[in-house]
Amino acid sequence: MSTSERLIESTRELLWERGYVGTSPKAILERAGAGQGSMYHHFKGKPDLALAAIRRTAEDLGATAERVLGGPGTPYERIEAYLLRERDVLRGCPIGRLTMDPDIVASDELRAPVDETLDRIRELIAGIVEEGKELGQFASSLDGEEIAATVLATVQGGYVLARASGSPAAFDTGVRGLLSLLTPPNDPIT
């Protein structure tokens, strides 16, 4: 892995663990095993490196969501697969973590990849809900955009509840509750 790649990956990990303020250039260099001038050779400074790391995290999360939501199955099954996919629940969401960081939220540039990724996932889910309505698998009264926002809120809120309780059970409970509300008529969850 090149030095610039090690710097990006180290910054991604540190942003997830410590947030923007807690991610010092010194910590990045130590984690990356890079020399003092390396960061400034490859990046203009911490904000530039953080932006590269945030973009990479956003791209990875978006690609995972697209792969799961675009997979096989009925609209319900694809949303179910997204909600039930393997996650490190107690660690939290790397994108969700960024939304809680005041320095990232205050920066239009740093916040943009986060917002774009969440919008992309919301649009995918909304489209699946509309597809399910057309196929008669979801109630015609459902609003795709509202359900998509609810799915994202359940996932992000589930991370918070799980971290607060120290148990993934809180995340799982929220997901099961949402799935029970989305269960197609005459098709109870087993």
Q: Give which of 179, 50, 69, 75 is closest to 134, Cα–Cα.
A: 75
Pinpoint the alpha helices (H) of the chain.
3-18, 25-32, 38-42, 46-69, 75-84, 94-99, 102-105, 108-134, 144-165, 169-182
For the segment 51-77, what is each residue's pLDDT rounded down to a tens digit? 999 999 999 999 999 999 999 999 999
The top-level CATH class assigned to 54-182 is mainly alpha
pLDDT tens digit sequence for 85-114: 999 999 999 998 898 899 999 999 999 999
- CB within 8 A of 167, min separation 6: which ones? 90
> Would you mind telling me the total number of residues written for the chain in this entry?
190
Does residue 115 carry a pLDDT above 60? yes
For residue 142, what are its two tokens? 């459902």
- Please report, for the chain, the start and end positions of each structural domain, with discontinuous segments joined by +: 54-182
**Percent residues over pLDDT 90 in the chain:** 85
* pTM assigned to the model: 0.89
Quote the pLDDT of residue 38.
87
Residues 155/92, Cβ–Cβ less than 8 Å: no
CB atoms within 10 A of CB 185: 9
Question: Residue 190: which pLDDT band, with cuts at 50, 70 and 90?
Answer: very low
Confidence of residue 189 (pLDDT cuts 50, 70, 90): low
Asked whether the beta carbons of 75 and 138 are under 8 A apart, the reply is: yes
Residue 188, pLDDT above cutoff 90: no
* Rounded Cα gap, residues 133 and 128, in angstroms: 9
Give the mean model confidence (pLDDT) for residues 118-146: 96
